[in-house]
Structure 1
Amino acid sequence: MSVVKINAITVPKERFEEFAERFASRAGKVEGAEGFEGFQLLRPNDEREVCLVVTQWRSEDDFTAWVKSADFAAGHAQHREGGPIGTASEIWSFDVLETKAAADA
């Protein structure tokens, strides 16, 4: 059963662009991680200031291995070097019970 990990990061609206730029220039190694199934970066289009980093993994063990990897550390170096953009963050974890995709047109 797949798992979804969501990093809910509070980002001041005036720093949304900087937040997106950091993700665009990240190491990008997650795509090759064992068990990685998908990634989405979501920015609110309403009054909220919580951006979501959504990843899907084949298993909890695959996610844990990624977090402990050198590639994870390299991908988060910007945070250590440039300081945080977010003012708070929280990790949410979910089991995927059902998935549907749009039918091809």
Structure 2
Amino acid sequence: MNAYMTNGTFDFLKKIDDEHPEVDFYYMSGENSTLVYYESDGKSVFSSGRGYELVINNGDMKQSGYVVMNNIPVTDDGAPVFEDRFKKRQQNVDTMPGFQAFRLLRPKKGNTYVVLTQWASEKDFENWKNSDQFSKAHKDGGTKPPAYFADRPFVTTYRMVNPEDLK
């Protein structure tokens, strides 16, 4: 399974929705951008955008909620270790109140993985960050990044936008 995303203005992104009514797009509004995300077994419908392979697919994406994307550049040599670490981790994130979806996305081009979590609200995400489960899942995260990080990770956050509001 693949995942695709692209950025643009609402007006531009609305046209993509009109051209591909068979696709379940997820619209997100961030501080500096608007993003559209979808999952498919086929090729991307975006003329430009980013493509990923779904490594871990847990929960169902919803048309409402709060999305946090950890963008993590990983070295080629470190990719198997990075993925294995996520596969073995018992985060219990899916048992947290407000949890909706988790995706580990391997880039088709480049080296920046995306760890996407979707929550019912920003408060639910903050509760997860302050939980014992979060502390256990991130206990190895000291001040020095792991050797498999190619660069500094960064976080982007989004609020879901109802596609009906775009019509």
Q: Structure 1 length normalisation: TM-score?
A: 0.84
Contact kept, 8 Å, 1:4 with 1:96, in 2: the verdict is yes
Q: Which structure dedicates a bigger proportion of its chain to strand?
A: 2
SS at match of 1:77: coil
Partner of 1:52: 114
Which amino acid is the alignment partner of residue 6 of structure 1? M
2:162 paired with 1:98: yes
Structure 1 counterpart of 2:67: 4
Among candidates 5, 16, 25, match of residue 79 of structure 2: 16
Displacement after TM superposition at 1:13 (Å): 1.4
Structure 1 position 15, deviation (Å):
0.8
Unpaired runs of at least 5, structure 2: 1-63
Structure 2 SS opposite 1:62? helix
Distance 2:76 2:152 in 1: 14
8 Å CA contact 2:103, 2:115 repeated in 1: yes
Name the SS for the 2:161 alignment partner: coil
116, 128, 132: which one aligns with 1:70: 132
- Structure 2 residue aligned with 1:89: 153
In structure 1, stretches of 5+ residues that fail to align are: 100-105
2:91 touches 2:134 (CA, 8 Å); kept in 1?
no
Shift of 1:78: 3.7
Residues 1:25 and 2:95 are matched in the alignment: no
1:2-36: CA deviations, max 9, x gaps?
01100001111111110000001112310101100
- TM-score normalized by the length of structure 2: 0.54
Distance 2:152 2:132 in 1: 24
Paired with 1:94 and 1:21, the residues of 2 have a C-alpha distance of 27
Cα deviation code 1:30-68 (max 9, x no counterpart):
01011000000001122x110000000000000001001
SS in 2 for 1:64: helix
Report which of the two structures shows the higher radius of gyration computed on alpha carbons: 2
Q: Which structure has more RCO (C-alpha within 8 Å, separation ≥ 6)? A: 1
